[in-house]
Structure 1
Amino acid sequence: MANTRFKIAPISTEMDAALQEKIDSKTKPLGALGQLETLAKQLGRIQQSLEPEIQKPHMIVFAADHGVVAQNVSPFPQEVTYQMVLNFLSGGAAVNVFCQQHKVPLRIVDVGVKSVFDDHLLLSKRKVANGSKDFTLKAAMTEYEFKAALQVGLDEVDRAKTAGSNLLMFGEMGIGNTTTASCLMSCLTDLSAESCVGPGTGASEEGIARKAKVIEQTKKRLKEDYPRELYRKTVAELEPQLIAQECGGLEIVAMTGAMLRAAERKVAFVVDGFICTVAYLLAQKLDENVKGFAIFAHESQETAHAALLNYLDVTPLLSMSLRLGEGSGAILSLPLIESAALFLKNMASFESAAVSQEKA
């Protein structure tokens, strides 16, 4: 069973000067490749190489159901989680199409879908529970379930690493998980419920207000359940693991475990949209050294995502008004990540191309 303490070494800056010199010596004006240069340097740091390479990227999509759907927070019924996983397994979802386009293996992980699946080559059957509990009424998961979900993420990363992957992309599926992510965000950051909610899969203004009310109700419950711990304190001052157990999201916790294990094993990982970024937020609260290994794919159209990216002080690669989830933004960012590694490795320098540099 997973221990929530990880041995993540801070990302090394030993090669920073050499990496920057190599980037600046390419046949281009200084800084002309913008974010691609920052990304190339990050990849070089992670791999401790002047010629980082992207090898066998993998996509892992974690799926689970959420008890909070009982509060009428989603326009879709809960069984859509099960139906969408079947769609993944039959190759019909957007993430399937994009993974096939880029020849990236896709793995679907059942962490807590409230249905039983037949065996399938793409499916990892790791069900911890039949979904999380309704967190407005009680803790979404037990400590055991939290650690078990975390372990799922650890094991999936170990499997991909053994297969030779040095770039992992994560996605999620779970009706109601936007509300869960919003609640986690509000509780972990102490940002207001209103600033942490959005339409998700298409909620109306009334539905968005209902989500905010659910979050406020949950924060009030936590104040009542932990009077000693929260005496004159905010919910955000609770232990991150406890907040995760209370607010839930078995697939979110599994993604958190995957991110922590990737960082522990010095593997770069791609953060998809809003829900995946909340998983990263939890990972960073558990161990801040995870930050150097994360590549942020895109800014979602989900209202709260911009606020969360601002809170984390990160700039994603893309902004395409996406709000699909399932790792779709992560796989779309893959060509940019590969381009960052390739320009650092293959682009000519001023010296090798016999091109005059700009005047000092």
Structure 2
Amino acid sequence: MPDGTLNLDAFSDLIQRPHGGLRRDAEERRARTGLPPRALGRLDELGEWLAAAQAQVPVQPIRNPRFLLFAGDHGVAELGVSARPAGSAHSLVRSALDGDSPAAILARRLEVPLRIVDMSLDCDPAELPEDVTRHRVRRSSGRLDVEDSLTAAEAEQAFRTGMALADEEADSGTDLVVLGDLSVGGTTAAGALVAALCGTDASVVTGRGGAQIDDLAWMRKCAAIRDGLRRARPVLGDQLRLLATVAGADLTAMTGFLLQSAVRRTPVILDGVVSAACALVGQRVAFRAPDWWLAGHGTDEPAQAKALDRMSLEPLTDHRIVVGGGAGALMAVPLVRAAADLAAGLPAGTGADGSAEAPADTETLDVT
């Protein structure tokens, strides 16, 4: 996308769907394996989706996945909408960096390299490594119930940062991204986005968050989303302004990352309600973009369910993981890898000379 004023309308032209013709070729190849239809369940569907995304049949195994977490604090957490103290997201980042968080342990076991990007943590940058903090837009965000989360300039900076990171991943050969967040107050911002985009009331989208808040905190959270929703509705026609109004720098960067990943044909696994809300904004920007994303898992967050339904995305797993930080999405990685390995490795019947078709034979589409 050219430099200068950010024009989100350009994404509609830049983003194309995964190649439908090669998906049909993958379906035909699967039919020649001799296995009964639907014998592999969703693994068949995933393999065909990957063939279209990679623009080749048979697909290549997933060799270079990346686990990417956007981190930030949200001013609305000052209202007691989270079980965690306001401004404490840096402790979640430190736990992940030290390898102690559930997601970090899973990522290490699954051999998916972790990258954390601080967009708006409320701490001294010196407390964390420079490669984590170098993209920070601001310290925490404005309280979405009474003020904009970001200025217009900060929103554009955060969005462009997400785009740049998507380009970095694509250029480095990343073939699958697991996307999540490390935030305090982030699910409140996500709820406001989903309520605004789906035209629902605050109570319909207010969940308990990753820290499982009590009833009083839930009521405070619902009130904050209601007030944020009142501020978000007038700017629904301008998605970047919507992000500036209620999203914060981390969610804004995630939205830019998702859209540019779709431009670069990089598949992404979404985690929980925060990444789903960003994806929903991305769908409003470019209706074809969700074709590049997978819903890693389902949670009890009502806003996530509404967002995924709106995008017609069905969660790959249903473990009801609420810990956040990308742990649920990581659990979908073995499924995606298995789908790729099966689609690539199963011999597809016989050729005209009676010999078995080699799994390595590959038809590709030039997408440059």
2:181 to 148, 172, 185: 172
Q: Which region of structure 1 is more displaced relative to structure 2, 181-190 or 298-307?
A: 298-307
**Residue 14 (structure 1) aligned with residue 15 (structure 2):** no
Is the CA contact 2:179–2:329 (under 8 Å) kept in the aligned structure 1? yes
Distance 2:272 2:206 in 1: 14
1:127 to 2:136 alignment = yes
Alpha-carbon displacement from aligned partner over 1:80-132 (angstroms, at most 9, x marks no partner): 20111111222211121111112221111001101123363862521101121
**Who is 1:197 aligned against?**
206
Query: 2: CA distance between counterparts of 1:327 and 1:58?
Result: 12
SS of residue in 1 equivalent to 2:294:
strand
What is the DSSP-based 3-state SS (H/G/I as helix, E as strand, rest coil) of the residue aligned with 1:170?
strand
Match status 1:69 vs 2:68: no
Counterpart-to-counterpart distance in 2, 1:248 and 1:102: 31
User: Per the alignment, do residues 338 and 122 of structure 1 end up closer, same or farther by CA in structure 2, a change over 3 Å counting?
Assistant: farther
- How many residues align? The count is 344
Q: 1:89 touches 1:122 (CA, 8 Å); kept in 2?
A: no
The answer on whether the counterparts of 1:270 and 1:330 sit within 8 Å (CA) in structure 2 is: yes
Shift of 1:134: 0.4
* Contact 2:295 2:308 survives alignment (8 Å): no
Aligned partners of 1:107 and 1:124 also within 8 Å = no
Provide the C-alpha distance between the structure 1 equivalents of 2:38 and 2:282, rounded to a whole number of angstroms.
Answer: 31
Unaligned runs of at least 5 residues, structure 1:
227-234, 356-360
Shift of 1:64: 0.6
Greater Cα offset, 319-328 or 209-218: 209-218
Q: In the alignment, residue 215 of structure 2 is paired with which amino acid?
A: E
**How far is 1:52 from its partner?**
1.7
Among 136, 148, 151, which residue is 2:157 paired with?
148
In 1, the alpha carbon distance for the partners of 2:142 and 2:57 equals 48
Change in 2 beyond 3 A, CA 1:122/1:139 = closer
CA distance in 2, matches of 1:308, 1:99: 26
Aligned to 1:100: 108
Give the C-alpha shift of residue 318 in structure 1: 0.1
Distance 1:121 1:166 in 2: 26
The code of the aligned residue for 1:63 comes to A
Gaps of 5+ in 2: 357-368
Shift of 1:10: 3.0
Selected match of 2:225 from 211, 215, 222: 215
In the other structure, the counterpart of 1:319 is 318
Superposed CA offset, 1:273-330 (max 9, x none): 1111111111111111211110111001323322332222221110001112211122
Q: Kindly indicate whether the alpha-carbon contact (under 8 Å) linking 2:125 and 2:133 is maintained by their aligned counterparts in 1.
A: no
1:178-193 aligned at under 5 Å gives the runs: 178-193=187-202
* 2-structure distance, mates of 1:218, 1:124: 28
Q: Which residue of 2 aligns with 1:23?
A: 30
Partner of 1:45: 52
Seen in structure 2, the aligned counterparts of structure 1 residues 221 and 155 have a Cα distance that, compared at 3 Å, is closer
Q: Where in structure 2 are the equivalents of 1:339-358 lying within 5 Å?
A: 339-351=338-350
Look up the equivalent residue of 2:174 and give its one-letter code: S
- Determine which of 100, 117, 125 is the counterpart of 1:117: 125
Are the counterparts in 2 of residues 177 and 275 from structure 1 also a CA contact under 8 Å? yes
Q: Matches of 2:355 and 2:21 in 1, distance apart?
A: 29
Instruction: Let me know the Cα RMSD of the aligned residues.
Output: 2.1
Alpha-carbon deviation of 1:138? 1.5
How much does 1:239 deviate? 2.3
Contact 1:197–1:303 under 8 Å retained in 2: yes
Offset of residue 3 of structure 1: 4.4
CA shift at 1:16, angstroms?
2.8
Amino acid at match of 1:72: G
Are the equivalent residues in 2 in contact too, given 1:199–1:303 (CA < 8 A)?
A: no
Check conservation: 1:11, 1:289, Cα contact below 8 A: no
Q: 1:221-256: per-residue Cα shift (whole Å, max 9, x none)?
A: 456xx5xxxxxxxx7x43222221111221111111
Comparing 111-120 with 68-77, which one deviates more in the overlay? 111-120
Q: One-letter code of the match for 1:56?
A: N
- The answer (yes or no) to whether the contact 2:297–2:319 under 8 Å persists in 1 is yes
Moved more, 147-156 or 205-214: 205-214
Counterpart code for 1:141: L
